[in-house]
Amino acid sequence: MLQSSNLTFQYKKTEHLFRFPNIDLKKQEHLVILGKSGIGKTTLLHLLAGILKPSTGTVSLNSQDITVLRESSLDRFRGKNIGLVFQKKHAIQTLNVLDNLKARLYFGKKKVNLNKMEALLAELDLLDFKTSKVQTLSEGQLQRLGIAIAVIHEPEIILADEPTSSLDDANCKMVLELLLKQAAKTQANLIVITHDHRIKSYFQNTIML
């Protein structure tokens, strides 16, 4: 499903070259990438998502090397196949909960299915807030909405950036279980990058940066 090989990246105006280990994930395999701050975890996640172009190396998803795609094709590919969960709990501020999901499907060029959206919101305990503006949601609700947005289009891969770093143990467990459940439901790969060692036990694959 997901392979990366010989990935390196160098930011402009810096001399440091990030070198990343190769990744090879089969269908429904999950991975946690652990490392200290500044080691390049987010850079690796952005390379895997096609947000950054690597200096060298390739990233392939379903045999498609995304590093060779043109920007517009990459946008489409990312919209259809990749779901991203950010550490900062965020959704489009001007839209309500349901419209955020609709926007995700619209830009991912996926069909809007109201029943499916409501079922997902119900599963994440957000159905009562489907018409609420995102500013009115609590931190926990925002986090769950972030997960809903990342999985509503049934991506091939879910990439999560520090999803649990600011959470207590109970909430950390809840978020991890949610992510794994949604990944299992959509048969997606889940890759979590974090410095939070508490979550190591949830994954069969671990990479230490």
What residues does 206 pair with on adjacent strands?
Answer: 32
Check residue 42 for interaction with another protein (CB under 8 A).
yes
Check residue 51 for interaction with another protein (CB under 8 A).
yes
Count of residues near another protein by CB under 8 A: 37
Closest distance to another protein from the beta carbon of 204 (Å)? 27
**Positions in 69-98 near another protein (CB under 8 A):** 71-72, 75-76, 78-80, 82, 84, 86-88, 90-95
Closest distance to another protein from the beta carbon of 114 (Å)? 11
Closest distance to another protein from the beta carbon of 8 (Å)? 15
Closest distance to another protein from the beta carbon of 106 (Å)? 4
**Positions in 156-195 near another protein (CB under 8 A):** 161-162
Residues that bind another protein in the complex, under the rule CB under 8 A: 42-43, 46, 49, 51-52, 71-72, 75-76, 78-80, 82, 84, 86-88, 90-95, 99, 102-109, 112, 149, 161-162
